[in-house]
């Protein structure tokens, strides 16, 4: 099957004469014409007069007609080959343009998020956040539409990387534990966690709110006509619900107490 496909496929990356189908299309009529012409050769009289020439043309009229189709088929295959090359060129140009647009969009987002990072005094992994809120955007197909379920992603990472660890440790908590697991969560959502330190619950909640505001600003960058304001509001409400639920749990489990220097709270 692969040999059949290779024989009848036009490969636009090769020159016309390197395609098997070109020689098949042009050579087959000539071969058929020769088959029909062979028995007629025995009827041929080598008469070089005008009458002899007319007899020759009349005798081989049908084989000549078959052989002439070789030119027609060759032109058709040439047109197909040229069309395939133009399509490949257009597709290559489209891919290059999309890749350039993707890089421009991502680089502009990085510059935008640098101002947000300075405003909130938190180092940000802009590329990580870009991949979260523009998950449908790829070098092959750029998309400026906001991802759906950003808050769900945020919630799942907060639960798996931090909250569940604190539930296991409940009711006795260590500052060192908090400063191990909370930075892990922060890293998962694109916040540079190297210098993140929390000293008490209010500090922890303050950082959570900052992260929520950072994501709000990040999603506002992606606001277009295709992204309704309600989408951003809906995502941000998911962040707020998470912080509210965690706040209630923290109060019920004495997590909200001020942390003491001894390491317990």
Does one domain contain both 134 and 241?
yes
Does one domain contain both 80 and 168?
no
Structural domain includes residue 260: no
**What three-state secondary structure class fits 59?**
helix
Place of tokens 């025995």: 42
Q: What is the pLDDT of residues 169-196, one digit of tens each?
A: 776 777 888 888 999 999 999 998 777 8
Does one domain contain both 37 and 131?
no
Place of tokens 């909130």: 120
Tell me the whole-structure pTM to 2 decimals. 0.67
Does one domain contain both 83 and 136?
no
**What three-state secondary structure class fits 90?**
helix
DSSP 70-114: HHHHHHHHHHHHHHHHHHHHHHHHHHHHHHHHHHHHHHHHHHHHH
Place of tokens 């007899």: 55
Q: What is the pLDDT of residues 51-96, one digit of tens each?
A: 777 877 777 888 888 888 888 888 888 888 888 888 888 888 888 8
Does one domain contain both 138 and 181?
yes
Q: What is the pLDDT of residues 20-45, one digit of tens each?
A: 788 888 888 888 888 888 887 777 66
Structural domain includes residue 72: yes
Structural domain includes residue 121: no
The number of C-alpha atoms within 13 Å of 126 and in the hemisphere containing its C-beta is 18
**Structural domain for 184, as ranges:** 126-252
Residue among 145, 150, 144 nearest 105 (CA): 144
How many CB atoms neighbour CB 89 within 10 A? 11
Q: State both tokens at 30.
A: 């000539």
CA angle, residues 5, 26, 24, in degrees to nearest 5: 25
**What three-state secondary structure class fits 245?**
helix
Exposed/middle/buried for residue 39 (C-beta within 10 Å: 0-12, 13-18, 19+)? exposed
How many Å apart are CA 111 and CA 225, to the nearest integer?
22
Q: Identify the domain boundary among 45, 64, 99.
A: 99
Does one domain contain both 134 and 229?
yes
Structural domain includes residue 261: no
In angstroms, what CA-CA distances link 75 with 24, 69, 80, 89?
A: 13, 10, 9, 21
How many structural domains comprise the chain? 2
Q: What is the pLDDT of residues 109-141, one digit of tens each?
A: 999 999 999 998 889 999 999 999 998 888 888
Does one domain contain both 155 and 223?
yes
Structural domain includes residue 233: yes
């Amino acid at each position: 099957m692969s040999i059949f496909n290779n024989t009848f496929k036009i490969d636009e990356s090769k020159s016309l004469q390197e395609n098997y189908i070109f020689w098949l299309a042009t050579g087959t009529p000539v071969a058929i014409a020769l088959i029909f012409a062979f028995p007629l050769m025995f009827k041929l009289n080598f008469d070089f007069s005008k009458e002899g020439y007319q007899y020759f043309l009349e005798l081989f009229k049908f084989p000549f007609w078959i052989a002439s189709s070789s030119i027609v088929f060759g032109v058709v295959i040439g047109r197909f080959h040229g069309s395939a090359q133009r399509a490949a060129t257009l597709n290559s140009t489209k891919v290059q343009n999309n890749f350039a647009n993707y890089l421009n969009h991502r680089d502009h987002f990085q510059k935008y998020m640098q101002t947000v990072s300075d405003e909130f005094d938190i180092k940000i992994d802009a590329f990580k956040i870009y991949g979260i809120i523009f998950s449908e955007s790829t070098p092959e197909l750029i998309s400026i539409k906001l991802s759906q379920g950003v808050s769900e992603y945020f919630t799942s990472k907060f639960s798996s990387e931090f909250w569940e660890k604190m539930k296991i440790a409940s009711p006795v908590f260590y500052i060192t534990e908090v400063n191990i697991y909370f930075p892990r969560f922060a890293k998962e959502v694109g916040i540079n966690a190297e210098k993140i330190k929390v000293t008490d619950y209010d500090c922890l909640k303050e950082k959570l709110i900052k992260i929520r505001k950072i994501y709000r600003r990040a999603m506002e960058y992606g606001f277009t006509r295709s992204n309704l304001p309600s989408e951003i509001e809906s995502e941000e409400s998911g962040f707020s619900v998470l912080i509210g639920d965690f706040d209630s749990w923290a109060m019920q489990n004495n997590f909200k107490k001020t942390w003491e220097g001894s390491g317990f709270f």
